[in-house]
């Protein structure tokens, strides 16, 4: 199924290119609504800025790693992501009271799907990151180099090891990382969602 990009996909492309002009536009056009929502719901402007920043970072990673294509208006997608992130933050803080619960009937199925896709990506990304940090320093260095440089010959050369050793070690490190991920509670929660 080939998704047709929405005109607002320019915001996703701008994030990937780190286009400061368009990034400023994102803040100009969309942040006031998020700041207002957070302030009405036991937060302040700094909380809202953190939420906006974290959400943009997540969208950036998803676009970079998964070739994410926006198929709905950015405004609704971004707002819903930020809103949910803030509600999760309130839960973490033990603040159960939410002042304003808005009517979400205007949210389309497509917007809901895109937001869920991003939220699942974020959980997977954080799980991978946390388990990656549990690997030994040598494995981390090898895998980071492999992620940046696709040629195993070049990786071996950079790390000063033989090609055969680099391939074998990469396979072992990826196996260890896969096990760490699969053995985690978060992985099982993601599978049941």
pLDDT at 49: 93
pLDDT at 56: 92
Q: Are 156 and 165 in contact (CB under 8 A)?
A: yes
Q: Are 16 and 26 in contact (CB under 8 A)?
A: no
State how far the Cα of 188 lies from the Cα of 193, in Å rounded to an integer. 9
Torsion-angle region of residue 67: left (phi > 0), alpha (psi -120 to 50) or beta? Answer: left
pLDDT at 1: 47
41 backbone dihedrals φ, ψ, rounded to 5°: -120, 60
Least confident of 52-56, 139-143, 159-163, 185-189: 185-189
State how far the Cα of 31 lies from the Cα of 73, in Å rounded to an integer. 15
Residue 96 has pLDDT above 70, yes or no: no
Instruction: Give the tens place of pLDDT for each residue, 115-166.
Output: 788 787 788 888 888 888 999 998 988 888 888 887 889 988 888 989 899 8
pLDDT at 65: 82
Total-model pTM: 0.64
**Cα–Cα separations (whole angstroms), residue 22 to 1, 27, 30, 144:** 29, 9, 12, 30
Residues 6+ apart with CB under 8 A from 135: 143, 173, 176, 177, 180
Residue 102 has pLDDT above 70, yes or no: no
Q: Where does the pLDDT of residue 55 fall: very low under 50, low under 70, confident under 90, or very high at 90 and above?
A: very high
Average pLDDT taken over every residue of the chain: 84
Q: Of the candidates 106, 52, 101, 99, which has an alpha carbon nearest to the alpha carbon of residue 76?
A: 106
Give the rounded percent of residues in the chain with a pLDDT score beyond 90: 22
Residue 100 has pLDDT above 60, yes or no: no
Q: Where does the pLDDT of residue 44 fall: very low under 50, low under 70, confident under 90, or very high at 90 and above?
A: very high
């Amino acid at each position: 199924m080939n998704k047709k990009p929405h005109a607002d996909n320019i915001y996703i492309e701008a994030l990937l290119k780190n286009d400061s002009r368009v990034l400023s536009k994102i803040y100009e056009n969309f942040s006031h609504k998020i700041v207002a929502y957070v302030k009405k719901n036991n937060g302040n402007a700094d909380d809202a800025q953190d939420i906006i920043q974290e959400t943009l970072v997540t969208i950036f990673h998803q676009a970079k790693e998964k070739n994410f294509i926006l198929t709905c208006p950015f405004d609704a997608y971004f707002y819903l992501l930020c809103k949910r992130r803030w509600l999760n933050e309130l839960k973490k803080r033990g603040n159960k009271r939410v002042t304003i619960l808005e009517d979400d009937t205007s949210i389309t199925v497509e917007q809901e799907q895109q937001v869920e896709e991003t939220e699942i990506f974020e959980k997977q990304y954080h799980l991978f990151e946390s388990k990656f940090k549990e690997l030994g320093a040598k494995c981390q260095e090898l895998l980071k180099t492999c992620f940046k440089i696709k040629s195993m010959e070049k990786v071996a050369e950079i790390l000063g090891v033989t090609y055969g050793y680099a391939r074998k070690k990469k396979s072992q490190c990826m196996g260890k990382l896969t096990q760490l991920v699969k053995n985690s509670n978060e992985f099982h929660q993601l599978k049941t969602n």
